[in-house]
Amino acid sequence: MSLDATNLETLLAEAAQGNHASFAAVYQRTHTHLFGVAVRILGQGQAAEEALQEAYVSIWKNAASFKSEVGGQTIQPMTWLIAIVRNKALDAYRARARRKEIDWDESSGDADDIADTHSLSAVQLLDQAMQALKIDACMKALDGSYRQSLALAYYQGLSHSEVAAQMGAPLGSVKAWIRRGLDKLKTCLAAQGLHGGTA
């Protein structure tokens, strides 16, 4: 069987055995989509490229840890790959926000005299980073089906029917998971004082 005809799960299993050709095939098939995930979090540029590179190093090292089923729930290889990229991108985003916070503290002596976009963007970026941390914590607190369906719908931009196909679940169940997951997410964010929490 050619690499082109081999499914992603098999390629990951072969990569876990140290097969470089299979890992190269994983990269070839997924890097465009996964780069898009990094860009949505970090914006176009070097930061997204570095996060993607770190993610592939992690994928190579941890390919053996991929499980197609966890607690009776099917996990698609692409979902696992996206989670790794998203975590690396969020780590980079937080690090960048911390650097911006330090820069802001060092230059805030003249803050009243500076009405340019740089000072504003530093504060806004920090605020966004704090929100991202809270959203990430709330996402991790969700049950598996809620978390996976929301991640596919909002981080990958898939339609409800595409999410259902990806998860191998009925469309009605996916719609219910997304609706309930959003409700739980709003409740969690409201408890942390983040916007969108009014009853």
Q: What is the CATH number of the domain that holds 68?
A: 1.10.1740.10
| DSSP conformation class of 1 | -
Question: Residues 93, 169: one domain?
Answer: no
Domain that holds residue 151: 142-199
Question: Residues 96, 7: one domain?
Answer: yes
Q: Is residue 126 part of a domain?
A: no
Does 184 score more than 90 pLDDT?
Answer: no
For 189, the token pair is: 């964010």
> Which residue stretches of 3-143 are H helix?
8-16, 20-42, 46-62, 77-107, 117-141
Predicted confidence at residue 111, as pLDDT, reads 44
Q: Is residue 148 part of a domain?
A: yes
119, 111 in Cβ contact below 8 A? yes
Q: Is residue 77 part of a domain?
A: yes
Report in angstroms the alpha-carbon separations of 164 from 43, 52, 54, 161. Answer: 28, 26, 30, 5
Long-range CB pairs of 158-163, under 8 A, 24+ apart, other chains included? none
Does 69 score more than 50 pLDDT?
Answer: yes
Number of domains in the chain: 2
pLDDT digits (tens, 9 = 90+) for 94-135: 888 777 666 555 554 444 443 343 344 555 556 666 666 677
For residues 12 and 133, the model is more confident at: 12
Does 89 score more than 80 pLDDT?
Answer: yes
Question: Residues 147, 109: one domain?
Answer: no
pLDDT digits (tens, 9 = 90+) for 132-154: 667 777 888 888 888 888 878 76
How far is the C-alpha of 22 from the C-alpha of 59, rounded, in Å? 12
Burial class (CB in 10 A: 0-12, 13-18, 19+), 17: exposed
Out of 72, 101, 117, a domain closes at 117
Question: Residues 98, 158: one domain?
Answer: no
For 30, the token pair is: 């997924």
